[in-house]
Amino acid sequence: MFRKKNTAGVDSDAIREILDEKKTKMKLSLKACAHCTLCAESCFLFMGRDKDPKYMPSYKFINSIGVLYKNKGNVDKLDLGEIRDIVWERCVLCTRCYCPMGIDIPEMIALARRVCRSQGVYPRYDQE
Amino acid sequence: MVKAKRKPIEEIKEAIAGYKNILNVGCGGCVSVCLAGGQREVNELNAVLKLHMSKDNVQKSIDGYTVERQCNVKFLDELDPMATKYDCIISMACGAGVQNMAERFPGIPVFPLVNTVSIGIDRNLGMYEEKCRACGHCVLGYTGGICPVTRCSKGLFNGPCGGTNNGNCEISNEVPCAWYDIYNRLKAQNRLDDILKVQPPMEWQNQTPRTIIQEPYENRYRA
């Protein structure tokens, strides 16, 4: 559903700069995903959470770095908060996920985390 | 997880005294969780260092950056374009992360900002308790899940010493005797036979860095 973005406090140019660094590889990776779901069972969080599709590696990168590229970096704090929940709460970056197409999923999640960090959005272990 | 504590500010200032352009690199792994070296701590430390520099009338430039994990070289790649711009790197990662960083950038001095203290558990927010010293020979199976290497002041493997004192250790009444606790737990589980077996001494001497290869990967790396 369409939502008007409030981009206050978000440096979209800085986000775009990070996204542009790896644009070719990331766009290719996003395009190469065949939605085959073979990555799913390589994720212990997916397996350990009753195969909840929200823990599927492909779901995680499409809804984090995929969203960032789709919006060309024009995201607000709410979007970044949702991405933060995906890339930190639903992924521990164990780098064990497997893609038969050769997509480097951890690199995609790490890039989404980098974008979040650049905007001061990251997990606060002192506020739990 | 690995637990660490930030070094005293004076020690950090001494380490960076001879450098002008400094990059402070945080780690998003264990040190982030134990509030010693994550992005928040990088920002805080840089602010403190800048305050000290202005007070001491010293000109330095200190930037901050946090990578996801310094113990995995894959996550250090993003430092490539920026690392060479700095005279030195200061790292808020554990000892493994600092060494990985130094290996990745052999031409740049790398200094640790935290003391890596232990493998421990989270007791409370900001309070972490040592539980494991990674000795490489786990005996928890016969000690009722209480580690004599970590908990016993002498690291004894076969029962308490003569210093056990009504449940406490001879070094302090504040320190519980590990073997007293081991005995009680095993007794409650009716497993006292477990500590009747004499355990051979640990081979502490002549230890070399331990690299582990998990069984399914042995052919790949040992071929």
For residues B8 and B114, membership in a common domain is answered with yes
Which 8-state DSSP code applies to residue A94? -
User: Which of these, A117, A78, A53, lies nearest to B40 by C-alpha position?
Assistant: A117
- Cα atoms in the Cβ-side hemisphere of radius 13 Å centred on B221: 8
Q: Which residues of B touch A107 (CB under 8 A)?
A: 74
The pLDDT tens digits of the residues spanning B99-121 come to: 999 999 999 999 999 999 999 99
For residues B158 and B78, membership in a common domain is answered with no
Alpha-carbon gap, residue B16 to B59, rounded angstroms: 12
Question: With an 8 Å Cβ cutoff, are A126 and B28 in contact?
Answer: no
Q: Which of residues 39-98 of A touch B (CB under 8 A)?
A: 93, 95
Q: What are phi and psi of A17, to 5 degrees?
A: -60, -40
Residue A15 resides in a domain: no
Mean pLDDT of all residues in B78-92: 96
Q: Which residues of A touch B32 (CB under 8 A)?
A: 123, 125
**Helix-, strand-, coil-residue percentages of chain B, each rounded to 5:** 35, 25, 45
Say if B74 is an interface residue toward chain A (CB within 8 Å): yes
Match 């480097």 to its residue by tokens: A104
Chain centroid, CA A36 distance in Å: 18
Q: Which residues of B touch A110 (CB under 8 A)?
A: 68, 75
For residues B6 and B105, membership in a common domain is answered with yes
Please tell me the predicted confidence (pLDDT) of residue B214: 79
Instruction: Identify which of B66, B75, B125 has the shortest CB distance to residue A126.
Output: B125
For residues B32 and B101, membership in a common domain is answered with yes
Residue A123 resides in a domain: no
Question: With an 8 Å Cβ cutoff, are A117 and B66 in contact?
Answer: yes
Question: With an 8 Å Cβ cutoff, are A95 and B72 in contact?
Answer: yes
Residue A80 resides in a domain: yes
Mean pLDDT of all residues in A26-41: 96
β-pairing, B2-6 vs B21-27, is: unpaired
For residues B107 and B153, membership in a common domain is answered with no
Residue A7 resides in a domain: no
For residues B100 and B49, membership in a common domain is answered with yes
CA of A126 vs chain B CAs: smallest distance (Å): 7
Residue A87 resides in a domain: yes
* Domain of residue B168, residue span: 135-214
For residues B97 and B48, membership in a common domain is answered with yes
The pLDDT tens digits of the residues spanning A74-90 come to: 999 999 999 999 999 99
Match 């790896």 to its residue by tokens: A22
Diameter of chain A measured on Cα atoms? 40
Mean pLDDT of all residues in A67-75: 96
- B169 pairs with which residues across the strands? B172
Say if A128 is an interface residue toward chain B (CB within 8 Å): yes
- The domain spanning residue B30 has which CATH number? 3.40.50.2300
Residue-averaged pLDDT of chain B: 93
Say if A25 is an interface residue toward chain B (CB within 8 Å): no
Residue A19 resides in a domain: no
What ipTM was estimated for this complex?
Answer: 0.83
Domain tally, chain B: 2
Cβ neighbours around A118 below 10 Å, total: 18
Is residue A1 scored above 60 in pLDDT?
Answer: no
Give SS3 for B96.
helix
Q: Which residues of A touch B40 (CB under 8 A)?
A: 122, 124, 126
Please tell me the predicted confidence (pLDDT) of residue A7: 83
- Tell me what percent of the residues of chain B surpass a pLDDT of 70: 99
Residue B221 resides in a domain: no
* Domain of residue A77, residue span: 25-118
For residues B110 and B176, membership in a common domain is answered with no
Q: Which helix (H) or strand (E) holds B125?
A: none
Do residues A103 and A33 make contact, with C-beta atoms less than 8 angstroms apart? yes
Q: Which helix (H) or strand (E) holds B169?
A: strand B168-169
Chain centroid, CA B208 distance in Å: 18
Domain tally, chain A: 1
CA of A2 vs chain B CAs: smallest distance (Å): 32
- Cα atoms in the Cβ-side hemisphere of radius 13 Å centred on B72: 16
Please tell me the predicted confidence (pLDDT) of residue B201: 84
Please tell me the predicted confidence (pLDDT) of residue A128: 62
For residues B80 and B160, membership in a common domain is answered with no
Instruction: Identify which of B33, B68, B126 has the shortest CB distance to residue A110.
Output: B68
Residue A10 resides in a domain: no
For residues B98 and B155, membership in a common domain is answered with no
Please give the structure tokens belonging to residue A36. Answer: 């085959």
Give SS3 for A113.
helix
The pLDDT tens digits of the residues spanning B12-43 come to: 999 999 999 999 999 999 999 999 999 999 99
Confidence band (pLDDT; 50, 70, 90) for B125?
confident
Question: With an 8 Å Cβ cutoff, are B40 and A124 in contact?
Answer: yes
Is residue B223 scored above 80 in pLDDT?
Answer: no
For residues B158 and B111, membership in a common domain is answered with no
Please tell me the predicted confidence (pLDDT) of residue B84: 93
Residue A124 resides in a domain: no
Please give the structure tokens belonging to residue A4. Answer: 């008007």
For residues B9 and B83, membership in a common domain is answered with yes
Which sign, positive or negative, has the C-alpha torsion B121, B123, B124, B127? negative
Please tell me the predicted confidence (pLDDT) of residue B197: 86
Which sign, positive or negative, has the C-alpha torsion A108, A114, A120, A125? positive
Q: In angstroms, what CA-CA distances link B34 with A33, A110, B72, B110, B127?
A: 36, 21, 19, 22, 8
Say if B3 is an interface residue toward chain A (CB within 8 Å): no
CA of B214 vs chain A CAs: smallest distance (Å): 14
Q: Which of residues 112-171 of B touch A (CB under 8 A)?
A: 125-126
User: Of the ranges A70-79, B44-53, B198-207, which one carries the lowest mean pLDDT score?
Assistant: B198-207
